[in-house]
Structure 1
Amino acid sequence: MVSMHRTTKIAIMLAVDLLALPFCILVAMLLRVGDLSLAVHYGPLSYLLVALVTIAAFSMSDLYRAVIRFIDQRMLAVTGLTLGLAVTCVYVVLFAINDEKFPRSVLAIYWFIVFSYVVASRITVRNFLRNHMNRGPAGDAVAIYGAGESGAQLALTMRTSNEYRPVCFFDEKHVLNERTIAGLRVFHTDRLVEMVSALNIRSVVIAIPSVSPARLRDIMQRLAEAGVTTKILSRLMDLADDSIGAPEAIRALKFEDLLGRAPVPPRVELFARCVHGRAVLVTGAGGSIGSELCRQIVTLAPRTLHLLDHSEFALYTIKQELLGSHPEVRIEAHLGSVCNAGLVERVLQEGKIETIYHAAAYKHVPLVEANIVEGLRNNVLGAQVIANAAERFQVDTCVLISSDKAVRPTNIMGASKRIAELIFQAAATRFAPRTTFCMVRFGNVLGSSGSVIPLFQRQIAHGGPLTITDPDVSRYFMLIAEAAQLVIQAGAMAEGGDVFVLDMGEPVRIVDLARTMIVMSGLTEKTPHNPEGDIEIKYVGLFPGEKLHEELLTDGKVFPSEHPRIMRMKESALRPGILETYITCLMMACDTNDRAMIESMVKAIVSEYTPQCQPQPVPAVAPGPVLVRPHLLKRLTSFRI
């Protein structure tokens, strides 16, 4: 039946209805007159006429165009209303012609009988087809967390899938305990462990569309303690789409579900303003932010995209990826350092660059703190070379990617990024309006190289421990796509010398992040109260120059921007001539490799720089030569950032 042509299926439905509907009017007549001889007295033509009117009503309600496997309450309700209108019209006609032979009250009885026939026949066929199509190995036993409307719809959708076999609901409302919804028993969440064991439940799907990140973390913790994997309903609207089944509507949890805020969508009218049809240069194109910038830029149809990076492998990798995904875009790769003024000027001149996104920088705090000379040269000189070259070749827009660590910095990396901001602010003063300079400042980017997420993933794969510097340390987090979109939009909104900051919600405690990752990996935390747990969390002390809490805003003035979730700031800046003299002295201090002298010069440029006087020793935290545990790796691969 499923493989039949659509026309054949409609013909079969029409034929069955033509046989059944006259029988329905006969039953209605018998109920009205109570005598078979009187019922057949009206002749077959009357019965056939009523049947044809009914089929016309069914056609008007689109009953014959509906897919029986997915027929729902709404379609049956529309059919009942249309049938009622048709019966009313027949009643009016009989009343108008004053036909006393045909008992008009039969029509009301007929409506109830026919509607019952339609509901019973279609639902029976629907259930038969669903059961027939779902024959095969039964899916794993799955429970649904949340017995609301979303959960009920999800349960009905799951029944059409071989992958999932819903067995019960869990809900926090005591009033729903032991009730039945969508054919499944509801249990209070206090009985979670008991019922998971009794029903052999393998996974639980969270079906609460408005769940907050904090509550979601609590639910995940409870489910992990019960020993089940956690998934989540992707979108409620997917369940209303007949073409989408349960496997497509359900997905694994992602860390962005737990960010504490919804991802910030880009403004379409801002997104392509500085990119579409233009020659664009991305420095540090092989890095985490730079490569994502390139991926976003090629979708906006630039005239040419120029990539600059000093890592041959990273540059080759991103170029091949971009050529594979967008072969129509002209891509030029340039190998070399952003501190090489000759190389940068040649790229800008020959490529006729109109927009620059300066992402090249050293950003790992402990490494830069241990190698301050190279860190300062790369981050400070690189920004100076880009700013001077952008002005010389009259680039339209030049955007610096900065960091929250530039706000009241306590380490060399943060100070170097603040100096880079001062360079761009000075350039905006000198070169406006020929070139628009601006800066983008954001927090930790999920999944970027050196971020805490990949570190925790590696440590979980090795069986732990997860190393955290301090139990109170917190950070702002954003998605890597959000970071790239923010950079591109900032250039479109810039007026010159602006600092743009994304509204990143509340900071996230790193220890909460670690515990969330343990739970999302299907594991439990090892503590004195739970010595049989899988992964231990270990505190190792703050790194040299590390803050407990990062900041995004200084004491400068904050203004709204064209995007409601992006803030614009104006901060105090040094006069260009004074700044240039300071930087010259700083580079001379770097030549001496005298840390005290270098820090003094940095302090002269960035007055709010407060280095730690006695850096805390950091014990080695890298795992030894331990093989990755296969069962942990298998769980970890299902966790998506």
Structure 2
Amino acid sequence: MFTDKTLLITGGTGSFGKKCVEIILRKHRPRRLIIFSRDELKQFEMQQVFPQTTYDCLRYFIGDVRDKERLYRAFRGVDYIIHAAALKQVPAAEYNPTECIRTNIGGAENIVNVAADCGVKKVVALSTDKAVAPVNLYGATKLCSDKLFIAANSYTACDTVYSVVRYGNVMGSRGSVIPFFLKKRDAGGPLPITDTRMTRFWITLEHSVHMVLRSFELAGGGEILVPKIPSMKISDLAEAIAPGMPTVEVGIRPGEKLHETMITAEDSRHTIDIGHYYVIKPETCPYRGPEGRPVPEGFSYNSGTNESWLTVPELRATLREQGFDVQP
């Protein structure tokens, strides 16, 4: 569906954006692929990897999702948008709340309105497990963003379709705990662990990109797509990276949870299972996506009670596949 179409990725120089560009260029033939971000240095560095002389469909567009006028210029003639731009560092968001709100909420509102005005066919916004029952400002802003994109299917009175994709921790993304553990390991340890009971959903960067691209075919508008992905224990991740190295428990930091949730029991009443994904159907507009089996009432998709788990050997193998320096 991307052949001879124009795609735009907000936050296109981030971890997700770079992997997404790599996969689109390898597997699809878009007419134009626009990298929209606000950091000219990151765009320059990305152009060394993906030069326009080699990939003539690429466009590098400096702009900020807060700047509505700039979005009008960037969205002209665009068919599909992947919205990946966000301020996502939890401590930074707590200390700079208005900046986080302006980007994650104000930026989402701008994208909704400008996409409608410019006749964009479909927008898929990236969400996070931290948007579910949020305990920090970052999660709260992403919850608001999700609500804006879902509601947009009802009030824009246009043909633009808006959907949300929600997944857990991305292995190897910027801010991931993996490089931190590797650095501590190389320094001789010990590895600081917040809580040995802590669990997280886990997904590779490539898997997250394939899921988002697939969502353009699946999404009918207003739903939240949630992949079925495994959980892992933070203590098992430490063992996979540094076998036998001592750890020290430092306690859960402000704004963190012991376990993450992607679907709450309250959402179970309008959630269906479509195979590889769960779909939280919209309550404010008709559902036009694929049909599936309703989940049991009271169902909760929680990293601590997940049916699928990664073992230490599986974690170690996945880390090696992603290029991290861990022993077999």
State the 1:573 CA deviation: 6.0
Q: Do the aligned partners of residues 640 and 484 (structure 1) sit closer, same or farther apart at CA in structure 2, a change above 3 Å counting?
A: farther
Other-structure match for 2:306: none
How do 1:159-558 and structure 2 match up within 5 A? 273=1, 275-299=2-26, 300-323=28-51, 327-349=54-76, 352-431=77-156, 434-505=159-230, 507-519=231-243, 524-525=244-245, 536-554=246-264, 555-556=266-267, 557-558=270-271
Instruction: Summarize deviations over 1:259-294 as a string: whole Å, max 9, x none.
Output: xxxxxxxxxxxxxx2x22111100001111111111
Q: Distance in 2 between matches of 1:640 and 1:434?
A: 52
Contact 1:283 1:309 in 2 (8 A): yes
- The TM-score normalised by the length of structure 2 is 0.83
Q: What is the deviation of 1:370? A: 2.0
Residue 567 of structure 1 aligns with an amino acid whose one-letter code is Y
Residue-by-residue CA offset, 1:96-115 (whole Å, 9 max, x unaligned): xxxxxxxxxxxxxxxxxxxx
Q: How many angstroms apart in 1 are the aligned matches of 2:206 and 2:282?
A: 27
Asked if the contact 1:379–1:417 (Cα under 8 Å) also holds between the matched residues in 2, the reply is yes
CA distance in 2 between partners of 1:547 and 1:541 (Å)? 11
Separation in structure 1 between the aligned mates of residue 222 and residue 32 of structure 2, nearest angstrom = 26
Segments of 5+ residues of structure 2 without an aligned counterpart are: 286-322
Q: Distance in 2 between matches of 1:487 and 1:640?
A: 31
CA shift digits 1:483-531 (9 cap, x unpaired): 01111111221111010000013x2110111111112xxxx32xxxxxx
SS in 1 for 2:261: coil
Secondary structure in structure 2 of the residue aligned to 1:282: strand
Q: Does 1:568 align with 2:279?
A: yes
After superposition, what is the alpha-carbon deviation per residue over 1:310-330, rounded to whole angstroms, capped at 9, x for unaligned? 122222222332238x92441
> 3-state SS of the aligned residue for 1:450?
coil
Q: Check conservation: 1:469, 1:542, Cα contact below 8 A.
A: yes
Letter in 2 for 1:461: D
Structure 2: how far apart are the matches of 1:368 and 1:341? 22
Structure-1 separation of matches of 2:238 and 2:324: 16
TM-score (norm 1): 0.43
Q: Aligned equivalents of 1:637 and 1:547: distance in 2?
A: 26
Rounded Cα–Cα distance in structure 2 between residues aligned with 1:459 and 1:429? 49
Whichever structure has more strand as a proportion of its residues is 2
Per the alignment, residue 559 of structure 1 pairs with 272
Distance in 2 (alpha carbons) for counterparts of 1:637 and 1:548: 26
Relative to structure 1, the CA distance from residue 396 to residue 315 in structure 2 (aligned partners, 3 Å threshold; closer, same or farther) is: same
Aligned partners of 2:41, 2:177: CA distance in 1, in Å?
A: 23
Structure 1 Cα separation of the partners of residues 229 and 89 of structure 2: 21
CA distance in 2, matches of 1:386, 1:510: 36
- 2:130 touches 2:139 (CA, 8 Å); kept in 1? yes
Spell out the pairing of 1:70-85 with structure 2 (5 A cutoff). Answer: none
Distance change (3 Å), C-alpha of 1:343 and 1:471? same
Shift in Å at residue 543 of structure 1? 1.4
Distance 1:329 1:468 in 2: 46
Counterpart residue identity of residue 538, structure 1: V
Residue of structure 2 equivalent to 1:639 = 326
Q: Quote the sequence identity (%).
A: 32
**Structure 1 residues 98-109: aligned runs within 5 Å:** none
Gaps of at least 5 residues in structure 1 are 1-272, 526-535, 575-635
2 CA distance for matches of 1:389 and 1:282? 14
Aligned residues: 287
- How many angstroms apart in 2 are the aligned matches of 1:551 and 1:424? 20
Q: What SS does structure 1 have at the residue aligned with 2:174?
A: coil
* SS across alignment from 2:255: coil
Distance in structure 2 (CA, Å) of the matches to 1:282 and 1:571: 24
Cα-to-partner distance string for 1:159-178 (whole Å, 9 max, x where unaligned) = xxxxxxxxxxxxxxxxxxxx
CA RMSD of superposed structures (Å): 2.1
Check 1:433–1:565 CA distance in 2 against 1; reply closer, same or farther (3 A cut): farther
Query: Which letter maps to 1:296?
Result: I
Q: Which amino acid aligns with 2:237?
A: L
- Deviating beyond 3 angstroms after TM superposition, the runs of 4 or more aligned structure 1 residues are 571-574
Larger CA Rg, structure 1 vs 2:
1
